[in-house]
Structure 1
Amino acid sequence: MLMRKIKTLHKARYTPIADLVTYNVLPSPSLPQIDPFLFLNHHGPQVYKPNNNGLPFGPHPHRGMETVTFIIEGDIMHQDSAGHESVIEAGGVQWMTAGRGLIHAEVSSTKFKKEGGPLEILQLWLNLPAKHKMTAPQYTGLQKNEIPMVQLADGVEAQCIAGGWQQQKPAFETISDVTIATLYLKKGSSLSLKVAAERNIFFYMIRGEVMVNEIKASMLHLVEFTNQGEDLVIETLSDSIILFGHAVPFNEPMVAHGPFVMNTMEEIQQAYADYQAGKFGN
């Protein structure tokens, strides 16, 4: 066994948005990306009172990337200029491919705003390779019962979002080669995983505390791995939830500006021009 080496742990920064508790995980001053994983915000956990304003993410554009949204508690209502609309509840996941461009809004449902309740939501941005930057926009929202779960070990379950997990077909078919799961681990459980050295690992502690490759990692910490070694050994010190993924890096030039992620500044400027010209729809 050759354990994957850990470079460092990054603690998420508290960056509230109005009354929404928010922790910015990636990018950070010390870690711009884990190619092709670009961005992660962790909203909550918090409890909203009845008659609240809910999530504040009104209509805004995207191009050149994908968003994957994980609803731990609460709900999220999605609407976009390609005609997609859904309300996804606790345990569900949304996958949106912005591709050549669309406008979307992410707000709380009417029911949540009226009744309130607990809320915890994470949004991950994935880069698209240059050859797929201008693909047609797509969106799929799945509820908890539509996403397969597999038992990886005693006390360890994986919500199979993308990529292969014990031959289980994942919930989402993806454009690029990326594997993503939400791992649910009971206290005292252990899990061994193998990830090829050329693949970048994304490992974020949503809740709990674990030992991973003999290093302690707790809630609100992103574990940055090197590309040395293939084996991961996770031992849980408390009930834990981990956002886990891995992918082959694109190793392409990347320019991120606001909601657009392209390969050159000229492409960013074109994205703004197209948006202002109404080419992203309404």
Structure 2
Amino acid sequence: MPAVTTDNPLLLPRVSPPPPTAEARSVRTVSTAPQGYEGEGFPVRRAFAGIDYAHLDPFIMMDQMGEVDYEAGEPKGTAWHPHRGFETVTYIIDGTFVHRDSHGGGGVITDGDTQWMTAGSGLLHIETPPEELVLSGGLFHGLQLWVNLPRENKMIAPKYQDLRGRNVKLLTSPDGGALLRLIAGDLEGHAGPGATHTPITMIHASVTPGAEVTLPWRADFNALAYALAGSGTAGTEARPFGTGQAVVFGHGESLTVRADAAQDSRSENFEVVLLGGLPIREPMMQYGPFVMNTHVELAQAFEDFKSGRLGTIPADA
């Protein structure tokens, strides 16, 4: 980990440090993700479980899928299932996943690729490992993030974006101590490839042992960090967090993450996902794969699914 990297981060564009007058974001909470299983039985960590939605908005949930090294015959995916009212962002760090949906979207994502699916008014989709991975086994590790849609966009037509790892914007911190992969959003004028209905920023940062990175952060965004691997601290108060733990930051114009000087044997660097988004501030009602504003809309989504109005499984599936 990770697949998308560079031989010399010092050659990358550098993100300037925030001005000295920028208000630093302090840490509100640190929580540990519970572990469970999803789909046909692949292991996940529920990154934001137990965090108040008021601190997550516009994000709904995030699963860390793996990291697991499958034996032959073990790789698993999901069955066909519906979605309505939000967007899914699937980021593959190691391994391969195949996506297909009833609206014609689909593709293979691997090592550093991202698929961005806007469910909107609704569709059916499936995510599976390719046949060759099932036969051979191998490493699998990724994230799936759910991003809410505002009321006026919940019933838009479904859309699929296939984002190759080579298109991710690579940046570095002022001293070159952190490699920043900008997947979506804007960071000091640099833009990631993901196009979103709700303004967000999504970064995968690899922070070298002992290094610290302080980034400018939109004051009207929320701010979250999740440790994929390794250990370090968050905020200027140096709040410890590590693998499988999420940080909620408070208000401010910059955020700070630092890697411990010694990392565990599984990870050379402190691997952290940084997320921020413009809160929608609307009622959010979730029932399984449906995310709407009211219970009545959830009931309608379930009825539309049962009636086949969210799409049909392709005949050749």
Same structural fold, with TM-score higher than 0.5 when normalized by the shorter chain: yes
- What's 1:169 paired with? 191
Q: Which of 95, 98, 112 in structure 2 is aligned with 1:77?
A: 98
Task: Tell me whether 1:138 sits opposite 2:168 in the alignment.
Answer: no
Partner in structure 2 of residue 217 of structure 1: 241
> For residues 91-111 of structure 1, what are the alpha-carbon distances to aligned partners after superposition, in whole Å with 9 as ceiling and x for unaligned?
111111100001100110112
SS in 2 for 1:113: helix
| SS at 2:301 equivalent | helix
Q: Following the alignment from structure 1 to structure 2, what is the Cα–Cα distance between the partners of residues 6 and 147?
A: 28
Q: 1:32 to 1:165 in 2, by over 3 A?
A: closer
Residues 1:251 and 2:281 aligned together: yes
Q: Distance in 2 between matches of 1:247 and 1:127?
A: 10
Give 3-state SS (helix, strand or coil) of 1:16's partner.
strand
**Number of matched residues?**
279
Partner-residue secondary structure (3-state), 2:89: strand
Distance 2:186 2:161 in 1: 19
Question: Normalised by the size of structure 1, how large is the TM-score?
Answer: 0.93
User: How do 1:115-130 and structure 2 match up within 5 A?
Assistant: 115-130=136-151
Identity %: 31
Please give the secondary structure, in 1, of the residue aligned with 2:186: coil
Q: Which amino acid aligns with 1:104?
A: H
Which structure 2 residues correspond to residues 151-166 of structure 1 after superposition, within 5 A?
Answer: 151-153=172-174, 154-166=176-188
Q: Distance in 2 between matches of 1:112 and 1:270?
A: 38
Q: Distance in 1 between matches of 2:243 and 2:134?
A: 27
Indicate how the Cα distance of structure 1 residues 19 and 260 shifts in structure 2: closer, same or farther if over 3 A, else same.
closer
Counterpart of 1:60?
Answer: 81
- Give the counterpart of 2:66 among 44, 55, 62: 44
Q: 1:86 to 1:218 in 2, by over 3 A?
A: same
State whether residues 55 and 106 of structure 1, in contact with CA within 8 Å, keep that contact through their aligned partners in structure 2: no
Matched, 1:194 2:224: no
Q: 2:32 aligned with 1:11, yes or no?
A: yes
**1:10: Cα distance to partner?**
0.6
Shift of 1:181: 1.3
Structure 1 residue runs of 4 or more that deviate by more than 4 Å after TM superposition: none
- Paired AA for residue 270 in structure 1: Q
Give deviations 1:139-168, integer Å, cap 9, x for gaps. 112232232212233121221211113433
Q: For residues 146 and 204 of structure 1, what CA distance do their matches in structure 2 show? A: 23
Q: Is there any run of 5+ residues in structure 2 with no aligned partner, and where?
A: 1-21, 264-268, 313-317
Q: Distance in 2 between matches of 1:226 and 1:151?
A: 24
More strand, by proportion? 1
Please list, as runs of the form range in 1=range in 2, the aligned pairs for 1:261-272 lying within 5 A after superposition: 261-272=291-302
The answer as to whether partners of 1:200 and 1:246 remain within 8 angstroms in 2 is yes
The code of the aligned residue for 1:261 comes to V
User: Counterparts of 1:142 and 1:270 in 2: how far apart (Å)?
Assistant: 32
Match of 1:240 in 2: 270
Q: CA RMSD in A?
A: 1.6
Aligned match of 1:276 in 283, 301, 306? Answer: 306
Q: What TM-score, normalized by structure 2, do the two folds share?
A: 0.84
Structure 1 counterpart of 2:52, from 21, 24, 31: 31
